[in-house]
């Protein structure tokens, strides 16, 4: 897609989903770099323990303010005035829970919320919106090699469908004639690290070591994933706010696709304990392989992942150990 001049320097940022895993790390990094940050989230430290932990440092910073709100039901305009960039990380995650009646909420949180945010951003002439998309937009990729942004998108789950819809919707707004808001949609590949949601693979493996409760391993363990450490994802996200772009989708991965069995071995090596495992069938929506082609990220974002999987697992284990005592 066509490019334009870089967005202006970020002095004031809005982060939706600020109390979440990636969002809270992004907030902390922006604050360290002197950016004034308004965080938006349905969760608050008063009603959610994870939010309290994730935002503990940020809440002590004068440059940070947290707004409790819902992008589906509240008017986003009141939060975006004067923003140099909006980082849209709010959304409903998870492939397996997205089937059935839950799809209504996925549609609202991932698609309708994005549309309402884009309307507000354009109305207030916000220069740049960075959207959290997902590798789930690609679908099954066995035998195709690393995934390129100009390749086929054929999501295999309702969740993936909503992420692709949100991505295409935001890019459509950016490409509208005279649009003041440019968009970079980041296709994150399996982000992990401290504060990771407990339902995600590496977090589940480490928790199984701590509790002794077996990890449910879906499939044969030969599935491959491109794991991205959260600090690398944050660096790419901040770079996307100032990259020369009008409407772009960009992969953000860890640079290496490994099997689930290899991850289990890393966890065992780091913790000194084997991960207790019980087998179950593959789940609807799960894909066999993810692997990111990072050529575009290197060119557009100057992105190069710096944390290898073993080191990342060590960091996440150290964080979990400090919490469990």
DSSP H helices in 42-131: 49-54, 77-80, 103-106, 113-123
Length of the chain in terms of residues written: 325
From residue 111, how far is each of 92, 99, 169, 269 by CA, in Å? 10, 16, 8, 41
Going by C-alpha positions, the residue among 254, 264, 257 that lies closest to residue 217 is: 264
Q: Which long-range contacts (CB under 8 A, 24 or more apart) does 255-258 make?
A: 255/226, 255/292, 255/294, 255/304, 255/305, 256/226, 256/227, 256/308, 256/309, 257/146, 257/224, 257/225, 257/226, 257/289, 257/290, 257/291, 258/224, 258/225, 258/227, 258/309
Going by C-alpha positions, the residue among 320, 311, 139, 286 that lies closest to residue 217 is: 286
Distance CA 143, CA 162 (A): 25
Structure tokens at 108: 């609202």
CB 73 within 8 A of CB 7: no
**Residues in Cβ contact with 25 at an 8 Å cutoff, skipping those fewer than 6 apart:** 193, 195, 230, 231, 233, 234
User: What are the residue numbers of the active site?
Assistant: 159
């Amino acid at each position: 897609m066509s490019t334009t001049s870089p967005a202006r320097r970020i002095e004031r940022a809005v982060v939706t989903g600020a109390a979440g895993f990636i969002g809270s790390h992004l907030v902390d990094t922006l604050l360290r770099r002197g950016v004034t940050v308004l965080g938006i989230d349905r969760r608050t430290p008063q009603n959610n323990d994870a939010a309290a932990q994730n935002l503990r440092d940020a809440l002590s910073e004068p440059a940070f303010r947290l707004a409790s709100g819902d992008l589906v039901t509240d008017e986003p305009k009141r939060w975006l005035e004067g923003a140099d960039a909006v980082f849209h990380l709010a959304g409903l995650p998870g492939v397996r829970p997205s089937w059935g009646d839950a799809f209504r909420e996925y549609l609202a949180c991932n698609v309708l919320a994005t549309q309402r945010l884009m309307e507000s951003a354009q109305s207030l002439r916000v220069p740049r919106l960075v959207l959290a998309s997902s590798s789930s937009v690609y679908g099954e990729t066995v035998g195709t090699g690393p995934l390129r942004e100009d390749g086929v998108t054929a999501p295999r789950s309702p969740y993936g469908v909503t992420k692709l819809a949100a991505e295409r919707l935001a890019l459509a707004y950016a490409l509208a004639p005279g649009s003041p808001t440019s968009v970079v949609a980041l296709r994150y590949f399996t982000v992990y690290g401290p504060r990771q949601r407990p339902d995600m693979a590496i977090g589940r493996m480490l928790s199984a070591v701590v509790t002794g409760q077996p990890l449910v391993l879906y499939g044969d363990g030969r599935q491959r994933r491109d794991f991205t450490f959260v600090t690398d994802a944050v660096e790419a996200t901040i770079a996307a706010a100032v990259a020369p772009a009008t409407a772009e989708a960009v992969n953000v991965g860890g640079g290496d696709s490994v099997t689930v069995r290899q991850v289990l071995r890393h966890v065992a090596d780091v913790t000194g304990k084997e991960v207790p495992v019980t087998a179950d069938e593959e789940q609807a929506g799960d894909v066999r392989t993810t692997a990111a082609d990072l050529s575009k990220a290197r060119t557009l974002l100057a992105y190069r992942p710096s944390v290898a999987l073993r080191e990342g697992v060590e960091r996440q284990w150290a964080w979990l150990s400090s919490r469990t005592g």
